[in-house]
Structure 1
């Protein structure tokens, strides 16, 4: 704020504007400045990682300990994606959220549920509730000679060392929350190994993808192994609710992938797949396979009435957003919820943490879908323009379809005819599909920011989360 006219006259017009705008800083600017003050050296200014730098610096090393195998080839490919510099957004969110939750007083963190009838006799469970928050992750639950197999002195897989606790109390991140961050990154990386095989990708994080460097079979098996090690680590958290949340996110990833492989909102023929070229085998006669009660609407008619073009597009958007949640946002939202559960906070805050992860995850994928149209493969670190080539209609295409109904047949046949990809790309450009997707991403970003403010007390960690949330909109890879 300027104190006098004399002061105002001594400043340039640009400086006055800058000072005046400072009074009305946005939450983004506040988050940026808060994060910047906490980072050293100056080269790392504006980096929210500073608040969880100890944990992030050792993340890959700890994960390799979790997934390490006695077989050299399996060991090599399992750690392959951790060697390159990835975004590591998911574990960073878990760690920052854990720090933010630690600002809530212990007396308000009393939601620790343990089913004593389903827990073996263990002195850990005889502790008072608050101290249970700080308990470490056991190296194993079953006897080691059973886990290690017939040659217990030379196991292929073994239990990890317990987490050190010295830093946790000072930084507010509980031992189990740190292990959760590592598990989440393991699940995400396993999905990348599988995705690169499914999508025939050549590159990942700026170098040959796992399927190219090691073959498809090894990449799939390594992804399976990593998921297996992740589920072992989940069980050692000894929290049934967290085990259910994180394990279910793995199933969500697969459900989302199937929604993408067979878009039933566009193609109502449930007897074929692969653009109608392959028939689904008939169902078994010995038992009935039933879908559960909730399904995304997948019919072009309602009560025998043909849907309008706008209604069809709306239904396609519902399907797309649900698929986006399952493929991308489920792991983020459920890991955020799990971090809140492990912190012992009460239900309203747990819900806000979950909604934050859901809204941020959808925002993240919307931006990813935009980048597929706007960034080169070199900058993206993976093939650009891949979605259309794979026959996937993302938000930019759906926005274009709303303006140009002729795109419908192209979307239905997954852009499989010559010229389909080019026609869809031109329509996205003509009808500003990228710009409209950006506006939708902003809406989800704003919802995520509101969730943070509703659920968390003001703190450096919350400011860093706000900064990170806003930065999703401007990322380039």
Structure 2
């Protein structure tokens, strides 16, 4: 699990707060505000609740031959645990008594929900890539810099980079970006700096995701992996025949031959393009960090980015 809360706190500490903030709000020992710590906790709770809810299984008899009591109980625990964390995050957020922040973080939860309704899914709600476009077109899909504006998905599906970016901004980048923006809002920083922090959060989340998605394709790897990962999507764009293997997962993703897909990906340009994509987002994250004072918090974020290389 990505430590979104840690990144939020590091950004908070690296930039500090303006003189307009009451000094009693600051935690002298840590170097950031009590409200910023609370926001970091909210971020982690929202992120964790989403991951727990994603673990729910479809227990229809059409898909599972024998449904055990343990499976039903596990689903109930996952549902209740995720709901508990999400409800607690709402309470913590309300206690900060900042209407603009509540609206901002609510839009992040909206994006997490929308990420579960993009494109095709198998019977267990695992995402499947959209059929690749017949002709490779240039990546022209753009996201608005307005964090409250809903994302239009129509033009992204079928384009490898656009679809990957869409899925991962909604599922990860939006939450981290808006949390980074929100923590500077609490510290009284300008709207311009808040927007820069929002873009930074998006880019570091995407760089992190691209790094993680390269791991299943290192030498000696085995087992299943995400079929909407960047290496697979980029390979699909150059080898449309790969989609025939992916189509086997419409009923159940376990019907897919992951070893065969891994072999095809390793032979194609997908991994190299994923590495390039990661570098692009890392570079855009560095642009924001270069503007920050040389502090331990800034250096810690730089170390996180360096560890991805």
TM tier relative to shorter chain: 0.7 to 0.9
Q: Tell me which of 167, 179, 182 is aligned to 2:41.
A: 182
Deviation for aligned residue 1:199:
8.8
Structure 2 unaligned regions, length at least 5: 60-69, 122-127, 134-148
Q: Is the 8 A contact 1:366 1:441 kept in 2?
A: yes
**Counterpart mapping for 1:319-330 below 5 A:** 319-330=163-174
Q: Tell whether 2:207 aligns with 1:363.
A: yes
Say what the alpha-carbon RMSD is for the aligned residues: 3.2
**Counterpart mapping for 1:177-216 below 5 A:** 177-198=36-57, 215-216=74-75
Change (3 A) 1:267 1:231: farther
Change (3 A) 1:375 1:239: farther
Q: Which residue of 2 aligns with 1:297?
A: 154
Q: Tell whether 2:225 aligns with 1:386.
A: yes
Change (3 A) 1:465 1:134: farther
Deviation for aligned residue 1:432:
4.4
Secondary structure of the 1:197 match is coil
Q: Tell whether 2:203 aligns with 1:338.
A: no
Q: Which residue of 2 aligns with 1:266?
A: 131
Q: Which residue of 2 aligns with 1:252?
A: 111
Q: Tell me which of 243, 255, 261 is aligned to 1:408.
A: 243
Counting matched residue pairs gives: 276
Q: Which residue of 1 aligns with 2:295?
A: 459
- Partners of 1:324 and 1:375 in 2: CA distance: 25
Change (3 A) 1:170 1:215: closer
Change (3 A) 1:180 1:328: same
Deviation for aligned residue 1:384:
5.0
Change (3 A) 1:198 1:340: farther
Secondary structure of the 1:171 match is coil
Deviation for aligned residue 1:405:
2.3
Q: Is the 8 A contact 1:336 1:353 kept in 2?
A: yes
**Counterpart mapping for 1:72-471 below 5 A:** 89-102=3-16, 106-107=18-19, 129-131=20-22, 134-135=24-25, 168-198=27-57, 215-259=74-118, 261-262=120-121, 265-266=130-131, 295-298=152-155, 315-374=159-218, 384-387=223-226, 392-411=227-246, 414=249, 420-454=257-291, 456-471=292-307
Q: Is the 8 A contact 2:132 2:237 kept in 1?
A: no
Q: Which residue of 1 aligns with 2:65?
A: none
- Partners of 2:235 and 2:132 in 1: CA distance: 19
- Partners of 2:72 and 2:24 in 1: CA distance: 41
Structure 1 unaligned regions, length at least 5: 1-86, 108-128, 136-164, 201-210, 269-291, 300-311, 378-382
- Partners of 1:417 and 1:385 in 2: CA distance: 8
Q: Is the 8 A contact 1:393 1:411 kept in 2?
A: no
Deviation for aligned residue 1:451:
1.6
Q: Is the 8 A contact 2:245 2:256 kept in 1?
A: no
Deviation for aligned residue 1:212:
6.8
